[in-house]
């Protein structure tokens, strides 16, 4: 297991504006984002946990990773020919989460939220590139419990993912991410899942029919979704 407590990221104004998908970049928006960046930059400390694990005991809609059984037809299909994977947890860090914004200041709260989102995405991208470089992998895809895939990999299995790193208490001790009783992570701007090598890039959004989703990364592909429902390795 590896702990990354000081992930280097370049938290720029442009990175945040791109994340926000701002079309009309007027002076007021830029000023407000820049103001929050000046608060966030000095204390931003994104963190990550990752490990190398091996896939075993593949069944129709389940498999074991690092000796822990996960139930997901989609994950099973994606890992049909994969033996080595990389479980991970990445967070924007408690430092940003503890910035005190008045409850009625919705504007600052929104921009801070977008900054935290940018930080966790940059940190996750850093980890992905680190894994590709260190393990000589050309391309990685990822899946996480509760993240799209049409509900195939349910959120409660977050508990099992955390167990790969020693459980709830250990993860919180190492990188400050707490798992709630509803299996949500705090800080909210945290992501978890499994990185796996793949020839064709996979996004869970491709098989999720949810129409209105602000974080959609790829269009819904009904043909691909049907293949996964049938348990066909893609």
Do residues 150 and 207 touch, judged by C-beta distance below 8 A?
yes
Higher pLDDT, 178 or 20: 178
Q: At the topology level of CATH, where does 2-200 sit?
A: NADH Oxidase (3.40.109)
* Model confidence pLDDT, tens digit, residues 147-203: 755 568 889 999 999 999 999 999 999 999 999 999 999 999 999 999 999 876 665
Q: Is the pLDDT at 115 greater than 60, yes or no? A: yes
Alpha-carbon distance of 211 to 219, in angstroms, equals 9
- Please give the model's pTM, rounded to 2 decimal places: 0.85
Please state, for a pLDDT cut of 70, what percent of the chain lies above it. 83
Alpha-carbon distance of 1 to 164, in angstroms, equals 9
Alpha-carbon distance of 136 to 131, in angstroms, equals 8
Alpha-carbon distance of 155 to 21, in angstroms, equals 28
Do residues 142 and 195 touch, judged by C-beta distance below 8 A?
yes
For residue 40, give the 3-state DSSP assignment.
helix
User: Which of 9-18, 60-69, 148-157 shows the lowest per-residue confidence on average (mean pLDDT)?
Assistant: 148-157
Q: What secondary structure letter does DSSP report for 231?
A: T
């Amino acid at each position: 297991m590896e702990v990354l407590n000081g992930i280097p990221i370049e938290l720029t104004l442009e990175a945040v504006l791109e994340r926000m998908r701002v079309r009309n970049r007027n002076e007021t928006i830029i000023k407000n984002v820049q103001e929050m960046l000046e608060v966030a930059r000095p204390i931003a400390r994104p963190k990550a946990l990752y490990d190398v694990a091996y896939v075993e005991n593949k069944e129709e809609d389940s498999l074991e990773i690092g000796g822990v059984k996960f139930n997901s037809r989609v994950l099973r299909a994606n890992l049909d020919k994969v033996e080595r994977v990389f479980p991970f947890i990445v967070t924007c860090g408690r430092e940003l989460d503890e910035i005190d914004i008045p409850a009625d200041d919705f504007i600052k709260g929104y921009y801070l939220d977008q900054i935290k989102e940018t930080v966790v995405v940059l940190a996750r991208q850093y980890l992905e590139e680190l894994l590709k470089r260190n393990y000589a992998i050309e391309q990685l895809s990822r899946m996480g419990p509760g993240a799209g895939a049409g509900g195939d990999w349910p959120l409660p299995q977050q508990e099992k993912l955390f167990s790969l790193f020693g459980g709830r208490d250990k993860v919180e001790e190492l990188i400050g991410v707490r798992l709630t009783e509803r299996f949500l992570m705090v800080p909210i701007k945290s992501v978890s899942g499994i990185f796996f090598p793949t020839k064709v890039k996979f996004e869970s959004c491709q098989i999720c029919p949810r129409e209105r989703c602000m974080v959609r990364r790829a269009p819904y592909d009904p043909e691909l979704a049907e293949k996964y429902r049938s348990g066909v390795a893609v």
